[in-house]
Amino acid sequence: MVRKSQLDTVDEVIHAFGGVKAMCSVFGGVPSRFSNYKAAGRFPDSMHMRVYVEAEARGLTIAPELIGMKRPDPQRELTLQAAE
């Protein structure tokens, strides 16, 4: 099985952690909590840092948007470099 370099959806993150029950073990709560996150397609703001830290500990890379961050804008980077 080929492993993706980045997890792009809440469903992929939950699957990488081992499923809804595994997420409950790591973060606490009931399965419906994580099923609701899957259905919404996002983690609540209060979970962003915890999900990030736990994913990093497992060697997982999560899409920045799933944890409240923005992707770097390559065009902006080029503009900043040109201004230097």
Q: Look up the CATH number of the domain holding residue 22.
A: 1.10.260.40
| Residue 2 placed within a domain | no
Cα(74)–Cα(14) distance, rounded to whole angstroms?
A: 29
| pLDDT band per the 50, 70, 90 thresholds, residue 1 | very low
| Residue 4 placed within a domain | no
Of the two residues 37 and 72, the one the predictor is more confident about is 37
| Residue 45 placed within a domain | yes
| Residue 15 placed within a domain | yes
| Residue 46 placed within a domain | yes
Can you give the residue range of the structural domain that contains 41? 10-83
Is residue 27 a contact partner of residue 50, using CB atoms and an 8 Å limit?
yes
| pLDDT band per the 50, 70, 90 thresholds, residue 2 | very low
Is residue 65 a contact partner of residue 7, using CB atoms and an 8 Å limit?
no
Residues of the chain with pLDDT > 70: what percent? 79
Mean pLDDT of the chain: 86
Whether the pLDDT of residue 78 is over 90: the answer is: no
| Residue 5 placed within a domain | no
29-32 LR contacts (CB < 8 Å, sep 24+)? none
Count the domains in the chain.
Answer: 1
Can you tell me the mean pLDDT for 49-56? 94
